[in-house]
């Protein structure tokens, strides 16, 4: 396969089930950077055997910093950032090749609609579609935000919205989703606490209830069947634990006002 001058940046931890299909979908790229933060499965071996540039890097405290480290290892002038559970379908690959081959292009970055699949169903409501995200950019004009969660790519220049998708096969195991909720809610709570935000258990309940109503009713998650109900419920649970953990941090700070404000 003819490679194009593109670097793909991926961060991983225990992604042996997802990584092979992700790597196959970007096999047209000259360089694939995989930054692993301590996998206990075959993730690193899969990446190495596939010819990726593999870096084993301790967790840097947040997704933004971890992904920026991956971007810093990219040697091509164009960078595509992917998660291990995402895929580049053939029509999107063709569009990316067309963009990279145009040496006179002035656009700094490109956004893609993301097709999110959950438990075998394409989720079309509750804000899950088209879920436009910037993922392709000129390296010297873009960077990751420093957010610990909900990180994003910022570019210095124009961004063009494309109509070809990235496919995202989000976690479908409820047990694994609960583990992710615990991790993400803790990161979000610490970030909010460091920003001086406050919460109570009652406000956590209110926020979670509002999120469920918005996702399932106002944003028509009900039309996505059982999967829509599950996603609305898990989104609400995540919101509750984020702000309940923030309330816990606030109480701890009141009991010990001399504690470090950045846990």
Distance CA 214, CA 90 (A): 34
pLDDT tens for the chain, 263 residues long, are: 689 999 999 999 999 999 999 999 999 999 999 999 999 999 999 999 999 999 999 999 999 999 999 999 999 999 999 999 999 999 999 999 999 999 888 899 999 999 999 999 999 999 999 999 999 999 999 999 999 999 999 999 999 999 999 999 999 999 999 999 999 999 999 999 999 999 999 999 999 999 999 999 999 999 999 999 999 999 999 999 999 999 999 999 999 876 655 44
This prediction's pTM = 0.92
**How do strand 29-36 and strand 53-56 relate by DSSP bridges?**
parallel
In the structure encoding, which two tokens stand for residue 94, read together? Answer: 């063709």
As to burial, measured by CB atoms within 10 angstroms (0-12 exposed, 13-18 middle, 19+ buried), residue 113 is middle
Distance CA 152, CA 135 (A): 9
Distance CA 203, CA 134 (A): 32
Where do the H-state alpha helices sit in the chain? 19-25, 43-49, 63-72, 90-101, 174-194, 201-213, 225-255
C-beta separation of 22 from 85 below 8 A: yes
């Amino acid at each position: 396969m003819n490679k194009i001058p593109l670097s793909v940046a991926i961060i991983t931890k225990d992604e042996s089930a997802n990584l092979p299909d992700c790597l196959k979908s970007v096999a047209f790229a000259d360089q694939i950077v995989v930054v692993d933060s301590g996998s206990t499965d075959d993730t690193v071996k899969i990446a190495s055997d596939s010819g990726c540039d593999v870096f084993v890097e301790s967790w840097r405290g947040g997704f933004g910093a971890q992904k920026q480290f991956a971007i810093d290892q990219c040697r091509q002038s164009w960078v595509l950032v992917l998660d291990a559970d995402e895929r580049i379908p053939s029509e999107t690959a063709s569009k990316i090749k067309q963009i990279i081959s145009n040496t006179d292009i002035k656009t700094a970055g490109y956004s893609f609609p993301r097709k999110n699949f959950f438990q075998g169903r394409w989720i079309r409501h509750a804000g899950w579609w088209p879920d436009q995200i910037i993922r392709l950019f000129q390296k010297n004009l873009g960077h990751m935000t420093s957010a610990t969660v909900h990180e994003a790519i910022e570019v210095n220049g124009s961004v063009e919205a494309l109509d070809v998708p990235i496919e995202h096969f989000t976690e479908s195991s409820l047990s694994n989703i609960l583990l992710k909720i615990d991790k993400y809610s803790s990161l979000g709570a610490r970030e909010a606490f460091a920003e001086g935000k406050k919460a109570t258990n009652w406000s956590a309940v209110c926020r979670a209830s509002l999120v469920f109503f918005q996702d399932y009713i106002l944003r028509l998650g009900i039309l996505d069947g059982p999967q829509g109900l599950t996603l609305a419920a898990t989104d609400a649970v995540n919101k509750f634990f984020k702000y309940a953990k923030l309330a816990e941090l606030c109480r701890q700070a009141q009991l010990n006002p001399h504690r470090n404000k950045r846990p």
